[in-house]
Amino acid sequence: MKVLNADIMNAKEPLEKILQLPLPVKAALQVAKFANKLEDEWRVIENVRQGLIKKYGKTNGDQISVDHKSKEWG
């Protein structure tokens, strides 16, 4: 099964909410293991994303932004 980086990024918040629910022990353990696997991938994706923002972004005061109309956007 192919999973996109966007799918991993979008799954982070819902998984954190699921982990807060009172689940049976077996289900809670499975969800926690899955969340840990995704956390490793999320860190890698986030580091690459931040690097690309620094490389292609333009500094506006204290913030860096990338114009979505630029050729580097997509």
Q: Chain-centre distance of CA 72, in angstroms?
A: 20
pTM: 0.71
The Cα angle at residue 48 between residues 45 and 52, in degrees rounded to 5: 135
pLDDT given at position 26? 97
Q: Could you give the C-alpha distances from 23 to 13, 37, 39, 54, in angstroms and in order?
A: 17, 19, 20, 41
Instruction: Give the pLDDT band of residue 74 (cuts 50, 70, 90).
Output: low
Backbone angles phi, psi at 57, to 5 degrees: -80, 165
pLDDT tens, position by position, 3-58: 899 999 999 999 999 999 999 999 999 999 999 988 989 999 999 999 988 888 88
CA atoms within 13 A on the CB side of 7: 4
Which one has a higher pLDDT value, 60 or 18? Answer: 18
Q: Where are the domains of the chain?
A: 5-65
Tokens encoding 16: 């954190």
